[in-house]
Structure 1
Amino acid sequence: MSATIDAGLDALPADNPFAEAAWSTPHALPPFERIRPEHYMPAFEAALSAHDAEIAAIANDPAPAGFANTVAAMERAGLALDRVAGVFYNLTGSHTNPDLQAVERTIGPRLARHGSAIYLNPALWARISAVDAEADGLGPEERRVLDRYRTRFRRAGADLDPQAKLRMAEIAARMSELGTQFSQNLLADESGFMLPLSGEDDLAGLPGFLRAAAADAARERGGAHTHVITLSRSLIEPFLVFSTRRDLRERAYEAWIRRGENGGATDNRGLIAEIVALRAERARLLGFASFAHFKLDDTMAATPDAAMDLLRDVWTPAHRQAAAERDRLQALVQAEGGNFALQAHDWRHYAEKLRRAEHDLDEGEIKAYLPLDGVIQAAFDTASRLFGLTFAELAEAPRYHPDVRVWRVGNADGSEVGLFLGDYFARASKRSGAWMSAFRSQERLNGTVTPVIVNVMNFARAPAGETPLLSFDDARTLFHEFGHALHGLLSDVTYPLLSGTAVSGDFVELPSQLYEHWLEQPEVLRRHARHFETGAPMPESLLKKLLAARTFNQGFSTIEYTASAIVDMTLHLSAEGEGGLDVLAFEADALRRIAMPAEINMRHRSPHFAHIFSGDGYAAGYYSYLWSEVLDADAFDAFREAGDIFDPETAARLRTYVYGAGNLRDPREAYTRFRGRLPSIDPLLKKRGLAA
């Protein structure tokens, strides 16, 4: 449960749910049905005022600075603000509306200025600097918290002169505005496009599951058409795979890759130029050669060179593999009588044909054995076998949308771990992609606070009364995000600053990407891949074909991802943005220099690259998926070496040093404690089928 929160919020009107010291809902979940858009600004105002007072009391405390009255006091401050922001920002991503977007545009810069005022407060920084770990007799966790606070303050500009501090605060506020606008522009482009499909000619090649999803999307968009394709990944990607109408594939693909660069009010190119310039300026103020150098200074990689070395090491074999794949696809085009050169909007379509020919695999046949509920149960069962967890669905729990499902997560002894919320289906009020977030994070400083974790995805909804079916890629996404969820749920720390996923950017993907491995294990598929109508297990012949095709098209997939990571890093190593960046020209030049295949596009082109422009989270950090993949491929080998993919001793170390440890220790130390050594790149290359 959560600690009681009343500081500053008890003065709110009684009809504002945030005025309540403790929510009386099951498991103290937010009372979503009672929270209205107009409640947020008064709640934010009250919470900000309360936090200001708490920080002032810490900074101006006449007693000598110690851990308890300075660092621990800061960890106890701001609980009301955390509560309001936790609800608000989860909803702006997963179920927004114009009223919430208006609040978001207003409050974002306010919160940025509030954060700057804390981290640039000289009296507060002087007290944090004065805390003596030896004199206070601090234990390992307290030392880690102190070190992380000092790092955060320095990276925010605490050591700068007053004028530079003022500029840092201005940059933070403006960056918040730009990131919010970028996200809202992208959502507008995504929700504003639809490709109507009229009659059998337009539906040519589409399997039944995709026709049903397109019909459901049409109904959601007002019913003016019988079938529509939207820019939801769960619709656009299978359409590019199955449609035999090359002209329609091209139209849909162009809309998909041109999000954020269509001119007018939702064009993101000008925002990107300003974002890149401000990031470069901030890095320079802090004494770094570039934003990339600043960003990686506090990561496992430590330097842009180390990250780029990894990207190059993977790019070379992937480029070679992709060229071979392209040649085989072009041969297939010609064999069918096609008198055209393979284009990016053709790749998925012909790759699927080649996969069927070489592996006798039919996506529709696979989906029949991957009903959503079955894949959810597979993810839960894997967690039960690894960590002894139990899952009980709560039918009456509050939820912010009818689609959301809620489970109580427990340990084997019955004690509560936390709550898990699953929000699985695409809708116009939700941004694209898939992610994990927290309504409440685990900690023990403010009472025994159990986490409330949410996974948000964008799967295609099945027609009413029918079973939603997943592709294998969808199932992998579900396992990936549930790996993140476990990182939040299993957190076992005292201090909020260290909780859950609050780890190095190139370590945070380890728990999620590692979890994907269990989905691909025959033992898991034999148990859980069952036909949605008959309950029969996936035939052994189909299972073997599925697993044999795991490395199919990996040259394409690796190039698509790695190109995005290289452009991200190159963009943030450059100072060009300060002179007025033409982002499309920069992107094209960066891709030319790495010999990007003409038939493949970046996974995320810059104008819709939300990972790096909706906020700083993955900026100069998109490489981290590959960095973490080196870790996860090596980490799963620990189970193979133990001879059991659910080996209890290995799983116990994994829970202690990875899933449960938050940011208790440096990521290199954490990994070494789990594995006994640092990883090798070889398992990654083997996993992707790129090993020589």
Structure 2
Amino acid sequence: MSLPAPDGDWSAWLAERCSGALDRAAAQRDRLVVGDGDPLETWNTIGIHLADCLAAAGLLAQVHPDAGIRAEAEEAELAAERFRTALMLDDGVHSALAAVDPERLDPDARRVLAHSLRDLRRAGVDRDEATRSRLREISEQETTLAQAFSRGIREGRRSTQVPAAAVEGLPEDWVAEHPAVGGEVTVTTDYPDTHPFLTFSTDAAARRAVMTAFLDVGWPDNAAVLSELLDLRHEHATLLGHQDWPSFDAEVKMIGSGPAIGDFIDEITAAVGPAGERDLAVLLDRARQDDPAIERIDMASWRHYAELVRRERFSLDAQEVRSYFDFGKVRQGLLDVTGRLFGLTWERVVGAPTWHPDVATYDVAADGTPLGRIHLDLHPRAGKYNHAAQFDLVPGVAGVQAPEGVLVCNFPRGLMTHADVVTLFHEFGHLLHHVLGGRQHWVRFSGVATEWDFVEAPSQMLEEWAWDAEVLGRFATDEHGRPIPADLVRRMRAAEEFGQGYLARAQMFYAAVSYRLHLERPDDLDARVRELWEEYNLIAPLPGGHFFTSFGHLTEYTSGYYTYMWSLVIAKDLFSAFDPADLFAPEVARRYRDTVLRPGGSRDAADLVEEFLGRPYDSAAFRAWLEQGPGA
């Protein structure tokens, strides 16, 4: 797809991409209702136009450097959501699709018909007009509030002034990029600023100030936004006959029901509890060497003391590890690794127009056949989405348009932490899924279109390649070109396994917040989140932190943040099919590519996994991973 240059007319491009697409979709809707042409093919064309608009608007609202374009993109996204809501509540559309005889269709067409009719029912097309009218209002309000919540995080960037002495012990390149002014250093809430500071600074008060600012990015405005959004989602679900939002949301996920989410959270919490308490006690013992009065490890201290324990117990120095992960080498190494693994080539498109000069563009081919295009937007800037995610730009449809995806992250330009490397591999897994799964006939099943509690599994599995010494040795080299030693990678793995229990408990806390706030809709969100924190999270909160106002996953995952751990269970089982001694073995990698990634959403996730493994998935590999001790 042709994009404007960074200084081009993005407003006109966005208008054509969105308003033009919605006009074309409306014309196709009229064809569908009067019976002009094949109804399913017409429905698919409508879906393509709508998806084109939503992808472009959703991306530019998060990444374009011009605030005016971001605002226009939000308006375009809202218009597209209005159109989609009206379409899904349209009697004429429902009648046209309901009249299609499924017995005359091939399996893929039969599946898209069944899913479409289910989606229409879940939208409320079969409800009375008063209910449908209210659902239209709710849908628009939900979109507006979700945009406001995201905007509050994206544009809530903060800075903290800390004493110059507080940066002693931080990496030399970090210190060079943060010169002291008047005896103080500025630390922003951007990841490359905050996370190294929390890890290496020995100034406990400064760490607390920096962490509080990081947690409070969306405070206080997002608290009221979220409260209203929770109430609207509840009303939405009950109007459609469900007891609550989690029950409505889980109906189309692998987990199947709302109460099952709570059961899963508590099951995992119990399973990881002993390991988490054991490892956190080690951090606390180490912290008391510095301050005997410390009672708990909190959000401002856990990274710091985890680093000290890694250094002293596992002979692992994070600054030594960083010296092997130059951003440019890591980016190219990732492309080389995934290219060899999945039979892909990544060709840099020099001079390709994009929204910002930082963006790197590549054309993708599989076994010599062109697949699509990717864009890597990997460094922080003002007004940009400030976490890490994959965004669609073009949904792939066989014979119509090639898939294009965008990786949006916030990494440093120089040396990366290994955690950054793992995050990059994880998010790139989503991009692979989008491109490899983007050759479907039906746009409904294009790319990452599986059940929402499976989408993280392929990404979490790809993380394993970021922990393998042979893999890392191909691109992780120091300034002299020496590859990272295998023994260092072994110690990195042991140190990572050391903290998996308390970090898993933190994940269950996030999942509980996601689930319980939607289920209960408490009047005092702050108080309820603190209760859940004490129940699920072993790491203590900070007195002034309001983390939930910057918890961006509440807009996209709603009540389903449990997805990350649910998917991890499957990811560990998927990885069990690979030989750890030869992670590049072509037969299993290509079989995984073709049976799990390429089908997109054209089959149920459980069936895709079963075909790849030769059996239904289970939790044996996940439980073995939980039970192994550090260094096992």
TM-score, normalised to structure 2's length? 0.93
The equivalent position to 2:424 in structure 1, one of 469, 475, 478, is 478
Counterpart of 1:403 in structure 2 is: 358
Task: Give yes or no for the alignment of 1:628 onto 2:563.
Answer: no
The structural deviation recorded for 1:335 is 2.2
CA distance in 2 between counterparts of 1:688 and 1:470 reads 27
The structural deviation recorded for 1:401 is 0.8
> What secondary structure sits across from 1:273 in the alignment?
helix
CA distance in 2 between counterparts of 1:375 and 1:55 reads 47
Amino acid across the alignment from 1:451: P
Q: Which has the larger displacement, 388-397 or 300-309?
A: 300-309
Per-residue CA deviations over 1:617-676 (Å, capped at 9, x if unaligned) read 3011111111110111010001138x6423333223211221111111111111111112
CA distance in 2 between counterparts of 1:680 and 1:272 reads 36
CA distance in 2 between counterparts of 1:449 and 1:39 reads 18
> What secondary structure sits across from 1:519 in the alignment?
helix
Counterpart of 1:143 in structure 2 is: 110
Q: Is the 8 A contact 2:468 2:489 kept in 1?
A: no
The aligned runs of 1:612-627 (5 Å cut-off) are 612-613=554-555, 617-627=556-566
Task: Give yes or no for the alignment of 1:538 onto 2:493.
Answer: no
The structural deviation recorded for 1:32 is 5.0
Q: Is the 8 A contact 2:364 2:370 kept in 1?
A: yes
The equivalent position to 2:409 in structure 1, one of 451, 457, 482, is 457
The equivalent position to 1:590 in structure 2, one of 517, 532, 539, is 532
Q: Is the 8 A contact 2:340 2:584 kept in 1?
A: yes
CA distance in 2 between counterparts of 1:364 and 1:53 reads 59
Counterpart of 2:370 in structure 1 is: 416
The structural deviation recorded for 1:601 is 7.4
The aligned runs of 1:529-678 (5 Å cut-off) are 529-531=476-478, 533-574=479-520, 576=521, 581-592=523-534, 594=535, 596-597=537-538, 599=540, 605-613=547-555, 617-640=556-579, 644-678=582-616
> What secondary structure sits across from 2:410 in the alignment?
strand
Per-residue CA deviations over 1:496-543 (Å, capped at 9, x if unaligned) read 111001221011111111111111122212322211x21111123322
CA distance in 1 between counterparts of 2:153 and 2:584 reads 41
CA distance in 2 between counterparts of 1:44 and 1:391 reads 29
CA distance in 1 between counterparts of 2:356 and 2:146 reads 25
Gaps spanning 5+ residues in structure 1: where?
1-26, 462-467
The equivalent position to 2:267 in structure 1, one of 309, 313, 326, is 313
The equivalent position to 2:209 in structure 1, one of 237, 248, 251, is 251
Per-residue CA deviations over 1:86-127 (Å, capped at 9, x if unaligned) read 333212212343313432453444332211110000011011
Counterpart of 1:77 in structure 2 is: 46
The structural deviation recorded for 1:494 is 1.2
Counterpart of 1:9 in structure 2 is: none
CA distance in 1 between counterparts of 2:16 and 2:584 reads 49
Are the structure 2 counterparts of residues 595 and 430 from structure 1 closer, same or farther at C-alpha, using a change threshold of 3 Å? closer
The equivalent position to 1:506 in structure 2, one of 453, 462, 469, is 453
Are the structure 2 counterparts of residues 398 and 349 from structure 1 closer, same or farther at C-alpha, using a change threshold of 3 Å? same
CA distance in 2 between counterparts of 1:471 and 1:688 reads 24
CA distance in 2 between counterparts of 1:90 and 1:336 reads 46
Counterpart of 1:465 in structure 2 is: none
Amino acid across the alignment from 1:433: H
Q: Is the 8 A contact 1:321 1:690 kept in 2?
A: no
The equivalent position to 1:268 in structure 2, one of 200, 211, 222, is 222
The equivalent position to 1:116 in structure 2, one of 71, 76, 85, is 85
The aligned runs of 1:59-138 (5 Å cut-off) are 59-61=33-35, 69-77=38-46, 79=48, 82-134=51-103, 136=104, 138=105
The equivalent position to 2:141 in structure 1, one of 174, 181, 184, is 174
> What secondary structure sits across from 2:301 in the alignment?
helix
Task: Give yes or no for the alignment of 1:209 onto 2:173.
Answer: yes
CA distance in 1 between counterparts of 2:307 and 2:288 reads 16
Are the structure 2 counterparts of residues 43 and 369 from structure 1 closer, same or farther at C-alpha, using a change threshold of 3 Å? closer
Per-residue CA deviations over 1:392-441 (Å, capped at 9, x if unaligned) read 212121121111111121223x2212112111111112121111112112
> What secondary structure sits across from 2:450 in the alignment?
coil
Counterpart of 1:16 in structure 2 is: none
CA distance in 1 between counterparts of 2:68 and 2:182 reads 26
Are the structure 2 counterparts of residues 375 and 674 from structure 1 closer, same or farther at C-alpha, using a change threshold of 3 Å? same
The structural deviation recorded for 1:484 is 0.6
The aligned runs of 1:181-220 (5 Å cut-off) are 181-189=148-156, 191=157, 193-197=158-162, 199=164, 201-215=165-179
CA distance in 1 between counterparts of 2:46 and 2:565 reads 36
The aligned runs of 1:265-414 (5 Å cut-off) are 267-342=221-296, 343-412=298-367, 414=368
Q: How many residues align?
A: 627
Q: Is the 8 A contact 1:105 1:181 kept in 2?
A: no
Q: Which has the larger displacement, 70-79 or 401-410?
A: 70-79
Identity of aligned pairs, percent? 29
Are the structure 2 counterparts of residues 316 and 601 from structure 1 closer, same or farther at C-alpha, using a change threshold of 3 Å? farther
The structural deviation recorded for 1:30 is 5.1
The structural deviation recorded for 1:560 is 1.5
Q: Is the 8 A contact 2:265 2:512 kept in 1?
A: yes
Counterpart of 2:442 in structure 1 is: 495
CA distance in 1 between counterparts of 2:512 and 2:41 reads 40
> What secondary structure sits across from 1:458 in the alignment?
coil
CA distance in 2 between counterparts of 1:606 and 1:344 reads 14
Q: Is the 8 A contact 2:6 2:357 kept in 1?
A: no
CA distance in 2 between counterparts of 1:599 and 1:196 reads 24
CA distance in 2 between counterparts of 1:357 and 1:409 reads 44
Counterpart of 2:475 in structure 1 is: 528
Q: Is the 8 A contact 2:476 2:484 kept in 1?
A: yes
Counterpart of 2:11 in structure 1 is: 37
Q: Is the 8 A contact 2:155 2:382 kept in 1?
A: no
CA distance in 1 between counterparts of 2:385 and 2:519 reads 29
Q: Is the 8 A contact 1:317 1:690 kept in 2?
A: no
> What secondary structure sits across from 1:391 in the alignment?
strand
CA distance in 1 between counterparts of 2:48 and 2:536 reads 50
Gaps spanning 5+ residues in structure 2: where?
none
Q: Is the 8 A contact 1:564 1:604 kept in 2?
A: no
Per-residue CA deviations over 1:520-574 (Å, capped at 9, x if unaligned) read 122212322211x211111233222222223021122112211010121122223
Amino acid across the alignment from 2:482: A
> What secondary structure sits across from 1:638 in the alignment?
coil
Q: Is the 8 A contact 1:439 1:454 kept in 2?
A: yes
Q: Is the 8 A contact 1:299 1:505 kept in 2?
A: yes
Counterpart of 2:119 in structure 1 is: 152
CA distance in 2 between counterparts of 1:102 and 1:334 reads 50
Are the structure 2 counterparts of residues 691 and 204 from structure 1 closer, same or farther at C-alpha, using a change threshold of 3 Å? closer
CA distance in 1 between counterparts of 2:428 and 2:480 reads 27
The equivalent position to 1:231 in structure 2, one of 159, 169, 189, is 189
CA distance in 1 between counterparts of 2:231 and 2:25 reads 31
Are the structure 2 counterparts of residues 50 and 678 from structure 1 closer, same or farther at C-alpha, using a change threshold of 3 Å? same
Q: Is the 8 A contact 1:564 1:605 kept in 2?
A: no
Task: Give yes or no for the alignment of 1:440 onto 2:398.
Answer: no
CA distance in 1 between counterparts of 2:58 and 2:280 reads 42
Amino acid across the alignment from 2:33: A
Q: Is the 8 A contact 1:30 1:87 kept in 2?
A: no
Q: Which has the larger displacement, 142-151 or 625-634?
A: 142-151
Q: Is the 8 A contact 2:434 2:446 kept in 1?
A: yes
CA distance in 2 between counterparts of 1:78 and 1:238 reads 44
Q: Is the 8 A contact 1:685 1:691 kept in 2?
A: no
CA distance in 1 between counterparts of 2:23 and 2:435 reads 31
Are the structure 2 counterparts of residues 120 and 522 from structure 1 closer, same or farther at C-alpha, using a change threshold of 3 Å? same
Amino acid across the alignment from 1:459: F
Q: Which has the larger displacement, 435-444 or 317-326?
A: 317-326
